[in-house]
Amino acid sequence: MSKISVSDLVEGHAARVGRQIKVLRGGRSGQWLADRTSALGYGVARTTISELENGKRSFVTTGELTALAVALSVPPVALLFPLGWGDVEASQETNIESLQWFMGDYVPAVTASVERETGVECDKWLYEMTTSDVRRTRERNGLAAKQDGLRDRLMKLAREGAEGDEIARVVDELNEVSRQIGRNGG
């Protein structure tokens, strides 16, 4: 039985974000972070940062989350779900199923928990379809990145005067990736 609960999905995000901000900014001041967010074009006030870090704020907007993540050079999800650098206690509070659900993975335990705890029926078909779309998009993006890398490698091999066999292997791999992209709707 899954340990996931509705409270894992909706509560405590601001507190976790505040703890992660404190960890990730290290010895740098909150004002440093506020200045960085301003320099990036979306200022998060020093008081907001302080309220998050001290647990006095119960919410964080997606704009703030994004600006803070960019300023700290981490993906936004790293502020919401601590994954083990620095603060072991914080990483232990991350429910991996909550993280997977948030990232768009198919986690049936989420819908089951919501229905069990709240009595609210989930649209399982819509959930399966959207998580499937997320998975396909990830696959396409991964294949496109691999294709770009192979093209770069091929250009480098050609510049360096590599042997025909080595170039042929990369061309074959590139062709296979291109076929996979075609099969995945790209």
Q: Which residue has the higher pLDDT, 170 or 113?
A: 170
Distance CA 149, CA 156 (A): 11
Q: Determine the pLDDT at residue 102.
A: 85
85 pLDDT band, cuts 50/70/90, is: low
Distance CA 5, CA 137 (A): 28
88 pLDDT band, cuts 50/70/90, is: very low
| pTM confidence score | 0.70
Q: Is the pLDDT of residue 86 over 60?
A: no
114, two tokens = 């919501």
Q: Which long-range contacts (CB under 8 A, 24 or more apart) does 36-45 make?
A: 36/71, 36/72, 37/67, 37/68, 37/70, 37/71, 40/67, 40/70, 40/71, 42/66, 42/67, 43/67, 44/68, 44/71
Q: Determine the pLDDT at residue 176.
A: 94
Q: Is the pLDDT of residue 71 over 90?
A: yes
Domains of the chain, by residue range, sit at 6-118, 124-183
Predicted confidence (pLDDT) per residue in 122-175, tens digit = 898 999 999 999 998 999 999 999 999 999 999 999 999 988 899 999 999 999
Q: Which of 55, 47, 67 is nearest to 11 (CA)?
A: 55
92 pLDDT band, cuts 50/70/90, is: low
Structural fold of domain 6-118: 434 Repressor (Amino-terminal Domain) (1.10.260)
pLDDT above 90 covers what percent of the chain? 55
